[in-house]
Amino acid sequence: MMTEGTSKIVVGLGPVPLEQVQPYLDSDTQFIVSPTPVELAQAQGAIVRAAYKIGPEELDQMPRLKVLARTGVGVDQLDVEKIKERRIAIAITPGSNTKAVAEGALAHLLLLVKSLPQLHTLVQQGKWEHRSQVSVRDLDGSCLGIVGFGRIGRELASMASALGVQVLAYDPYSPVDEEYSVSSLEELLSLSDYLSLHLPLTAETENLIDENSLNLMKDGAIIINVSRGALMDHDAVLAALNQGKVAGVALDSFIQEPPVYHPLFDHPRVSLSPHMMGLSRAASEATYRMAAQAVAAVLRGEKAPYTI
């Protein structure tokens, strides 16, 4: 409940840590980590994590809401039309986790390229004599295809180029620098040894990586998805792994979070992380700070940056 001296309630939906948010809210604002129905009804602002869904039912629980700040940039879990109908501002936090997610994509790629899980198991199980049976590949001289060339895609391109990787990129929504550009997604798929996905989830991008697109890729390709789980048809990807068409897959994002079990998760050439690549220490601090500052600005009657 609201404490003495406060006049505004902001709630966390997701969860959101108090210590990383409260310092950036105004002194007349109380932040509630685990709001009750009564506190939701009083809330004028909300800071919302990526996996938290906001639709008409959730909006009805927060009739006083003026601003909703989403940690990150994806809004696929938000009913944007209904939120705007109620004249609620939507703030996002672009750039806060750019380097962290790009590093995460590169880390997953290196793990699979160098076959680290398999090599770890050999040593652990005393099977040193079998090490020559594990393929260890290279980044240097390879081709990395990046699908989606926003902040994260560009950062990954810079990191990979520094390691001797040829980078190509395709973005259905935004222009790509000439040095990386290809004419189509099909061309990118056919040229890439490794593929990294950095697109929002839309009706056009859902199941972008399906049986047809997988058939266009080089044999032994590795696919990294640190963006949105539904960009990939998991059944088709598993089939391609089992057939040897694909040599490795990394997932940091899932169709549903927490994910429903899929046999893809058990494949030895799959690397999994629980949507954490954008939640490094520095990235978390930045995204929570930006979200809290946006909420505070709107509740003061100001226009927050990065509202949609």
| Neighbour-count burial of 266, counting CB atoms closer than 10 A to its CB (0-12 exposed, 13-18 middle, 19+ buried) | exposed
**C-alpha distance from residue 282 to each of 18, 95, 162, 267, 270 (Å):** 16, 12, 23, 32, 27
CA angle at 15 for the pair 12 and 16, rounded to the nearest 5°: 60
Task: Report the C-alpha gap between 125 and 91 in whole angstroms.
Answer: 50
144 phi and psi angles, rounded to 5 deg:
-105, 120
Task: Report the C-alpha gap between 161 and 172 in whole angstroms.
Answer: 22
Biggest alpha carbon–alpha carbon distance for the chain: 70
The catalytic position among 49, 108, 151, 228 is: 228
The catalytic position among 39, 86, 257, 267 is: 257
For helices 98-113 and 281-299, angle between their N-to-C axes, nearest 10 degrees: 150
Whether the Cβ atoms of residue 152 and residue 126 lie closer than 8 Å to each other = no
Identify the H or E element spanning 152: helix 151-162
Place of tokens 């980078």: 167
Active site residue 262: no
Active site residue 257: yes
Q: Take residue 259 and report the two structure tokens written for it.
A: 């994910």
SS3 8: strand
Task: Report the C-alpha gap between 55 and 50 in whole angstroms.
Answer: 14
Q: Take residue 129 and report the two structure tokens written for it.
A: 């004599």
Catalytic residue numbers, as ranges: 228, 257, 275
